[in-house]
Amino acid sequence: MTRFAYVNGRYETQRSASVSIEDRGYQFADGVYEVIALWNSCPIDLLGHMDRLERSMAEVKFPNPPSRTALKVIAQELVRLNRMGTGILYVQINRGAAPRNHPFPGDHINCSVVMTVRHGLGPSATEFQDGVGLKVEEDLRWLRRDIKTIGLLPNVLTKQAAKSVGAFEALLVNPDGTVTEASTANIWLVGADGILVTRPLGPEVLGGITRARVMALAKDAGRKVREATFTLDEVLSAREVFLTGTTTFVLPVSKIDETLISNGYPGEVACDLRDRYLTFLNSHNKETSWYVG
């Protein structure tokens, strides 16, 4: 089936779609992005993704950002053209095209807007059932990880390092031994007291939209949640460890390097939150899921 993309005002086949060679996203990684889950043709937590996208554009000082209403209309048409059911919607906004020079090109330049879709979403049944492995890697990313920038080379390198040893993800650790997140997901642990712990928001971690949703689901279920820094040793000795993210949902971690987490099988808390998140996904309808405020 032909796949369509949106690039700067035009819907084109992905094979023919292109951007300028002087686009600052291509030359400087001067851009931001969002990955939004599509479930039965409904975007998941679209409002949260739009809020985060606008914040990212403001933090990198885009002068003429596209409106969320315009982005919604483009996304709806792209979902229709591609007959999307379950998959992902990728949105990338770059500062625009201008002669190559490090300073901003000026307020007269319009942002570049690219959208694509891809079928398929979520971990496999085996990954849900058995949990996944992580490989510990030093966190080498820049100091503003709260901005969802397209400058992802450190994430790519750590993810590849994990893949090279058969692990699902990289667990990123600072030189002082504190854990930040995974290369493409937020990390959680369940302590001996049963309290869920995840990193507080700030420049060191990305404020995950799924993280926020799972936190709300956990509190609705009567579980205690604490936002705090924690060390690799605390993760390795935790009762449970799991990931959250747009494409990982709630995914149990069974092994980190050579250390089994608990008994090496998904724990009760992660499995319960996974089921609650799947119920949340199935609660969406097309009339309300496209609301952007």
Residues taking part in catalysis: 148
d(CA 262, CA 267): 8
d(CA 223, CA 207): 20
**C-alpha distances in angstroms, 197 versus 38, 138, 221, 226, 234?**
28, 21, 15, 5, 11
The separation between the first and the last C-alpha atoms of the chain, rounded to the nearest angstrom, is 33
Sort 141 into a burial class: Cβ within 10 Å, 0-12 / 13-18 / 19+.
buried
**C-alpha distances in angstroms, 208 versus 102, 162, 198?**
30, 21, 11
Place of tokens 């009762």: 239
Place of tokens 């039965």: 40
Amino acid at 289: S
152, 177 in Cβ contact below 8 A? no
Task: For residue 13, give both structure tokens.
Answer: 């086949």
**CA R_g for the chain:** 19
Three-state secondary structure call for residue 132:
strand
